[in-house]
Structure 1
Amino acid sequence: MTNEPILFKNLRLLDPAFDEPRGGYEVLVEGEKIKEVSETPIRSASAQAVDCGGRVLMPGLIDCHVHSMHSEVYMRRMEDVPLTLAAARAARRLKEMLDRGFTTVRDTGGTDWGMKTAVEKGLIPGPRLFIAGRSIGPTGGHSDGRARTNTGFACACCNGQAYLRIVADGEDEVRKVVREQMRQGCDHVKIMVSGGVASPNDPLDSLQFSIEEIEAAVEEAEAFGRYVLAHAYAAEAITRAVAHGVRTIEHGNLIDEAAAKLMAEKGAYLVANLVAYVAMKERAASYGMPPVMLEKNDMVLEGGYRSLEICKAAGVKVAYGSDLLGALAEDQSREFSIRCEVQQPIEVIRAATTIAAEVVRRPGRLGTIAPDAWADIIVVDDDPLKDITLLEGQGAHLAVIMKGGAFYKNRLGGAV
Structure 2
Amino acid sequence: MNLLLRNALLLDPETGEYTEGDLRCADGRIVETGRGLTADVRTEDLRGAVVLPGLIDAHVHVTASTADLGSLPSTAPSYVALQSARTMNGMLSRGFTTVRDASGADYGLADAQAEGLFRGPRLLFCGRALSQTGGHGDSRSRGTHRHDDHPCCAGLGRIADGVDAVRAAARDELRKGAHHIKIMASGGVASPTDRIDSTQYSAEEMRAVVEEAEAANRYVAAHAYTARAVNRALELGVRSIEHGNLLDDRSVELFREHDAFLVPTLVTYWALKEEGREFGLPEASWRKVDEVLGAGLAALERAARGGVKLVYGTDLLGGMHRHQNTEFRLRAEVQTPLEVLRSATTVAAELVNMAGEIGTLRAGAHADLVIVEGDPLADIGVLADPKHIRHVVQGGEVVV
| Fold in common (TM above 0.5) | yes
Of residues 327, 348, 358 in structure 1, which corresponds to 2:319? 327
Q: Normalising to structure 1: TM-score of the pair?
A: 0.93
Matched with 1:50 is 44
Of residues 386, 389, 393 in structure 2, which corresponds to 1:398? 389
Query: What is the one-letter code of the residue matched to 2:61?
Result: H
SS at match of 2:361: coil
Deviation of the 1:33 alpha carbon: 0.8
Matched with 1:302 is 294
* CA distance in structure 2 between the aligned counterparts of 1:323 and 1:170, rounded to whole angstroms: 28
Deviation of the 1:294 alpha carbon: 2.3
Q: Trace 1:14-93 onto structure 2 (pairs within 5 A).
A: 14-20=11-17, 22-38=18-34, 40-42=35-37, 44-93=38-87
Matched with 1:413 is none
The answer to whether the 8 A contact 1:232-1:238 is kept is yes
Q: Trace 1:10-409 onto structure 2 (pairs within 5 A).
A: 10-20=7-17, 22-38=18-34, 40-42=35-37, 44-154=38-148, 156=150, 160=154, 163-393=155-385, 395-409=386-400
The answer to whether the 8 A contact 1:82-1:157 is kept is no
SS at match of 2:161: coil
* CA distance in structure 1 between the aligned counterparts of 2:279 and 2:372, rounded to whole angstroms: 33
Deviation of the 1:293 alpha carbon: 1.8
The answer to whether the 8 A contact 1:365-1:373 is kept is yes
Deviation of the 1:154 alpha carbon: 2.3
Matched with 1:414 is none
Matched with 1:6 is 3
Deviation of the 1:359 alpha carbon: 1.1
* CA distance in structure 1 between the aligned counterparts of 2:119 and 2:46, rounded to whole angstroms: 24
* CA distance in structure 2 between the aligned counterparts of 1:121 and 1:158, rounded to whole angstroms: 20
* CA distance in structure 2 between the aligned counterparts of 1:403 and 1:204, rounded to whole angstroms: 39
* CA distance in structure 1 between the aligned counterparts of 2:324 and 2:377, rounded to whole angstroms: 18
| Cα separation, partners in 2 of 1:268 and 1:28, compared to 1, 3 Å | same
SS at match of 2:371: strand
Identity of aligned residues (%): 44
Query: What is the one-letter code of the residue matched to 1:384?
Result: P
Q: Cα deviations across residues 377-397 of structure 1 (Å, max 9, x unaligned)? A: 11101112233222244x332
SS at match of 1:336: helix
Q: Normalising to structure 2: TM-score of the pair?
A: 0.97
Query: What is the one-letter code of the residue matched to 2:159?
Result: V
SS at match of 2:289: helix
Unpaired segments ≥5 residues, structure 1 = 410-416
Q: Cα deviations across residues 237-292 of structure 1 (Å, max 9, x unaligned)? A: 11111111100000000000001111111000001110000001111122342343
The answer to whether the 8 A contact 1:83-1:156 is kept is no
Deviation of the 1:50 alpha carbon: 1.3
SS at match of 1:172: helix
Query: Which deviates more, 323-332 or 379-388?
Result: 379-388
Deviation of the 1:311 alpha carbon: 0.9
Q: Cα deviations across residues 219-246 of structure 1 (Å, max 9, x unaligned)? A: 1111111111000001111111111110
